[in-house]
Structure 1
Amino acid sequence: MDLDLKLVSKEINEIMWRECKTLATAESCTAGRIASVITAVPGSSNYYKGGLVCYADEVKENILGVDAKVIEEQTPVCEEVVRQMVIGANKLFNTDYAVAISGYAGPGGPDGGKAGVIVGTIWIAVGNADHIETRMIEEDNGRDKNLASATNAAMHMLLDYIKGEEKPEDAAE
Structure 2
Amino acid sequence: MTNTAHPILCGGTFLIQILESKRTTATRRQRTQSVSDAFHEQDVLLGLIQIVQPDYMKPAGDTFKTYTTYFKRCAENTPQDLQFADEAVVSAFLSRLESDYAGVLNDMTGFVNNFIEVGTTRQKDIKLARRLIEMIVNDAGTPAIPDDYQFAISKDGPSVLKSTWRLCRTYTSLHFF
Shorter-chain TM-score: which interval? under 0.3
TM-score, normalised on structure 2?
Answer: 0.23
TM-score, normalised on structure 1?
Answer: 0.24
Higher-Rg structure is 2
- More relative contact order, 1 or 2 (CA 8 Å, 6+ apart): 2
